[in-house]
Amino acid sequence: MKSLHPIMLAGTGSDVGKSVIATGLCRIFSNDGYSPAPFKAQNMALNSYATPDGKEIGRAQAVQAEAARVECCTDMNPLLLKPSSDKTSQVVLNGVPIGNRDAYEYFRVEGREELRIEVHDAFDRLASKYNPIVMEGAGSIAEINLKATDLVNMSMARHADADVILVADIDRGGVFASVYGSIMLQDEEDRKRIKGVIVNKFRGDMRLFDSGRKLMEYICGVPVLGVVPYFKDINIEEEDSVSLSKKQSEAVGKGRVNVAVVLLNHISNFTDFDALEKDPRVHLFYTNNIAELAHADVIIVPGSKSTIADLQELKNNGVAEAILKAYRRGCSVVGICGGFQMMGLEVNDPDGLEGDARYITGLGLLPVVTTLADTKVTRRVSFDFNGSLCQGYEIHMGRSELRNGEPFARLDDGSYDGCRVSERCWGSYVHGVLDNSAVVDALLAPHVTDRRCMREFDYSKYKQEQYDALARELRKYVDMEALYKIMGRDD
């Protein structure tokens, strides 16, 4: 099959839909007989994933790899920034943490060439194995003040000799200005590299944009390859917490199990709850409101990038006491990763990894003592749960010691994970634990009065159906024949 040029989905801004369109194109190319792979040189996200060799990448690239039907690897996202505050991020290079950096230090010109070499080498390794490479930019390509330090947008496209498709969000307004400005602010070499535009998130009758499409092509000198509607019935995992504002916040879902995810200031890996959110038995919502927690049948304390700070905030705002009160009235309480640590007796930070506080008492629901450590555990795991083989992954920097009780699960390597004191109270370090139907069925069982409603929800099958649905819709609205010609296919 003819080799195709790499393609980059660049954006007029953040959250314009680059990631979802890249996911759909990965599935289309796979369906058409190619062997695509995703690539994003630098990602900033708290949603991350463990590769088979026990390293860490952005969750979005893992999702895109799944859509492409290939196993993910660190070359797909060689540089990951995990924010720990408004100004500081943990830097993960080739899947391994190399320390914390403040934004000013990180974006200086000095030292950027070392990182540039790393991300270029990662792309080259990936391109030697897969075709085409579906690249994703970050934020806006028009941030000309950051051009000298850019690793992920046009400088990466130049290294890859990629055809760039500009993605614009019409729903937020100003689409003509954002497309025109993004193109015109490029130098001549980079401007020529932009081969098409995709107008994304259109609402209403698309015929109303026919004249707009022609005007955009005229003033920008670039073809509009597609006008893509705002998809409501296709669910693809979101890239980062910017999408939490779109999540369900209504506290009561009649006839279903009400599951509340505690909305932490530093919430991480909220994709842990996507399977529950799509389960027809469940009404899932995010909240830090005490009154809303009173309506929950199940409360989940999620992962956190700053466990001690988030636990202190739960105590300060009364949410900690609300969780304990809910448990006493019969609510189930579950903790994942940082949430598991918070549910224990205490969390210790002797080396000050998260700040000045060295110790904090936990919620006291689990007989566990946690000590934070500077060595990150990153690995895939599998375990038996009620006779079913379950899978997930660990990404954490703490060690938890059971003082009583029993582990939540025995892992395939013989070690133990988490803690369980009853069917209504347990915690686990395993991200993705709630993607397993056996675990979800056990979680919901105490709160489903009609046993006929306890039908299994196959989340893995559901995700594959969503990738296929996304691919079908993109074929309707994006001129794939024109895109293939841009990428070098002649037929």
**Which of 91, 204, 195, 184 has the alpha carbon at shortest distance from 142?**
184
Closest CA to 437 of 419, 418, 454: 454
Residue 372, both tokens: 């934070």
- Distance CA(474)–CA(17), nearest Å, equals 12
- Write the DSSP string, 325-361: HHHHTT-EEEEETHHHHHTSSEEE-TT-SSSS--EEE
Q: Rounded distance, CA 367 to CA 48, Å?
A: 28
| SS3 of residue 188 by DSSP | helix
Cβ–Cβ < 8 Å for 185, 166: no
Distances (CA, A) of 216 to 180, 204, 221, 223, 387: 8, 19, 8, 8, 58
Helix (H, G, I), strand (E, B) or coil at 164: strand
Q: What angle do the packed helices 319-328 and 307-316 form, to 10 degrees?
A: 80
Name the pairing type of β-strands 224-229 and 194-202: parallel
Dihedral of CA atoms 397, 403, 409, 414 in degrees, nearest 10, equals: 80
**Could you say which of 266, 283, 295, 431 is catalytic?**
431
Residue 26 is among the residues annotated as catalytic for this protein: no
**Catalytic residue chosen out of the listed positions 331, 337, 390, 419:** 337
Phi, psi of 8 (to 5 degrees): -120, 130
Q: Which residue has the tokens 């614009």?
A: 168
Question: Is 337 tagged catalytic?
Answer: yes
Give the residue numbers marked as catalytic.
337, 431
